[in-house]
Amino acid sequence: MVHMRSGRRRFLQNSALFTGGLLTTSLLDTRHSMARDEPIEAVVIGSGYGGSVAALRLAQAGINTLVIERGRRWPITSAQNTFTTFRNPDGRAAWLSPTTFDGVPVNIYTGVLESNNEDGILVLRGAGVGGGSLVNNAGMVQPRNRGVFNQVFSGLLKYEDFTNIYYPRVRSIIQPSPIPNDILSTFYYDSTRLFVQEATRAGFSNYLLDLAVDWDIVREEIAGRKTPSTINGEIWYGCNSGAKRSLDHNYLSLAEKTGLVEILPLHVVTSINEVGGYGYRITCDQINEFGEVITTKYITCRYLFLAAGSLGTSKLLVKAKTKGTLPRLNDYVGKFWGTNGDAIVSRSNLPVANGKGGFAGAILEDFNNPKGPNIIMNYPDWNGLPGTQEYLAIGLPKQYGSFRYDASLDDVRLHLPRNTPGDKALMSSIESTLGVLDERNSTSTQIKSEVSYAGTAHPLGGCRLGKACDEYGRVLGYRGLYVVDGALLPGTAACANPALTIAALAERCVEKIIAEDINFGQFHRRKGRYNNIPGRAR
């Protein structure tokens, strides 16, 4: 644990009072208590792309911040065996499930990847300190079509601000880059080379995408000095060589080094309550690595940042609205959820490319498709048959899901209508692009592509900008309550993997919140006027 200021130490010492339900009014009302008795200033729920950005920027602004994360830490060990593998999976592959996402039996454990079987859709999401960055394909993709970006964000966000300020700001921390030529030329990446060749032959714009990968470590994998991870396509269950630039190695590490951020792993938030005249009270279960509850804790903060991912954030807020703990949430909460337009593509009768190197390597763009814009990217299929490849296609979803509270389960479920005209339009766009790709690359053997739309690893929406929140993630109806993750996006990241856009949007939101809400509020609290700040209530 990093060194904490005395105020933080006193906060943690007072946690016994929170846990025992003995938190007194004098502790809640800082107008009548000494500064040393203040609970934590800011709490961030979740440590993915939005939560990690919030933690670092709050700390840099001098704000004591607590990050609550349901998953465990996954430090890279000297033995390079931190994570399980596709080839020999165990409980580390799955979040409290007897099977992996593809049905392989494993022991129940707090693993890195959760499979949520919702009503109409399978949703995959990361669990651990670093969130989705532990299990994604490492793609840091900037939406490249200004028109699509403007269409998606309806004028709430300026494309120029993101290209000039916020995307570069995220890149400066994570430092993504495309596959270097010396690595691309190896056997391990022959499937990426084939994809680029075919995209070019078909006349599509294409490029190598930026990846959050340390290529020097990949070179060590190739040389046999690191365990084969990236070059074997071992991605979704974690990267044992340490080549992936996941958030625990950059944003979160930098945040903890400030001495103002503490991360509580294996803490599952179950409810949020407003504390009259002060802030918010979070109830969470501390669990062990097998999911068993050790104790229940109550933590109070002035500023609460929700970054539990689209599903986690949306479910917490929908439950709070339904149960009356946050009754002023508007009716847009839990709406406008989407799959990012994800679809899985399987192609067969291709030239044999046996290399299993990952992560995703290149992108094909088809923004001029009359049936709808889309992109297609290759990614490694560790057990694919010779002459086959799998891709991820991303279009613009035309069908939204919504979250509903189920009293019989005391839980919230996602409902997504299927086989709708919107679904068919999305699939038609992707199939049209693939038709051109296949036709222009077929020779004596006809290349065949099949598209499936059974799940997503890019859940987005539920607390949409301009609907449930303002354009900076401030939850409408509440002061000091913010959303800074993928729940803000309207079901899509404008034909791109969403990680870079989520982090960039969090940078934009937190910058404004610190300047206008937190720093402004601290100034007026020092003047004794905290409860009379004009324009703060929302």
Residue 520 has what pLDDT? 58
| Contact predicate 380/359, CB 8 Å | yes
Cα separation, 49 vs 484, in Å, equals: 9
Q: 442: helix, coil or strand?
A: coil
Cα separation, 180 vs 86, in Å, equals: 25
* 359: preceding bond cis by omega (within 30 degrees): yes
Structure tokens given for 150: 């403007």
Give one word for 172, left, alpha or beta, with left for phi > 0 and alpha for psi -120 to 50.
alpha
Tens of pLDDT, residue by residue over 421-445, are 888 999 999 999 999 999 999 987 7
Q: Tally the residues of the chain.
A: 538
Residue 374 has what pLDDT? 97
Residue 257 has what pLDDT? 98
Tens of pLDDT, residue by residue over 255-275, are 999 999 999 999 999 999 999
Cα separation, 149 vs 156, in Å, equals: 10
Q: In sequence order, what are the beta bridge partners of 293?
A: 287
Residue 354 has what pLDDT? 80
- Spacing of C-alpha 75 from chain mean position: 19
| Residue 145, number of CB atoms within 10 A of its CB | 18
pTM of the predicted model over 0.85: yes
Residue 522 has what pLDDT? 59
> Which ranges of the chain have pLDDT less than 70?
1-38, 277, 520-538
Cα separation, 110 vs 116, in Å, equals: 14
Residue 89 has what pLDDT? 97
Cα separation, 324 vs 86, in Å, equals: 43
Q: In sequence order, what are the beta bridge partners of 390?
A: 346, 379
Cα separation, 187 vs 165, in Å, equals: 37
Residue 447 has what pLDDT? 87
